[in-house]
Amino acid sequence: MAVLTEAIVKKSFRSPDEVREALLTRIEMLNLGENVIAKTILQPGWRWSTHLKPTMGTDLCEVEHLGYCLSGRLHVMLADGSEQDIVPDDLVRIPPEHDAWVVGNEPFVFLDFTGGKSFSKR
């Protein structure tokens, strides 16, 4: 009887598989099989409705994000008007239909486990 083994897959954001950039936005992606993990870096002054809305062609971000905040602060406002700040060490699910903006003078750095594949891509 054959024993199937799988190898450990190791990647690093020091050498991402793909990088997407837009004004004040950098997304570094690692492909792990069917999974895409994105490290999103948003600079101070970034706002989805200002910087990505024109490219995406929707009034609000339609991508769901499940991720972990490494640094910085992001303010998120949902279509229903509810709001929340995301700060370091927060694990968060952001549903589709939201606007968001960086608060303060520090870049917002976020590991996105679900939304990275489609974020900033029309």
Residue 23 belongs to domain spanning: 18-112
Residue 76 covered by a domain: yes
pLDDT single digits (tens) 23-59: 999 999 999 888 899 999 999 999 999 998 888 889 9
Indicate the residue type of 117. Answer: K
Q: Could you give the number of structural domains in the chain?
A: 1
Residue 1 covered by a domain: no
Residue 69 covered by a domain: yes
Residue 61 covered by a domain: yes
> Looking at residue 56, which CATH number applies to its domain?
2.60.120.10
pTM across the whole model? 0.89
Residue 13 covered by a domain: no
Secondary structure (DSSP) of 9-53: ----TTS-SEEEEETTEEEEEEEETTEEEEEEEE-TT-BHHHHTH
pLDDT single digits (tens) 12-33: 999 999 999 989 999 999 998 8
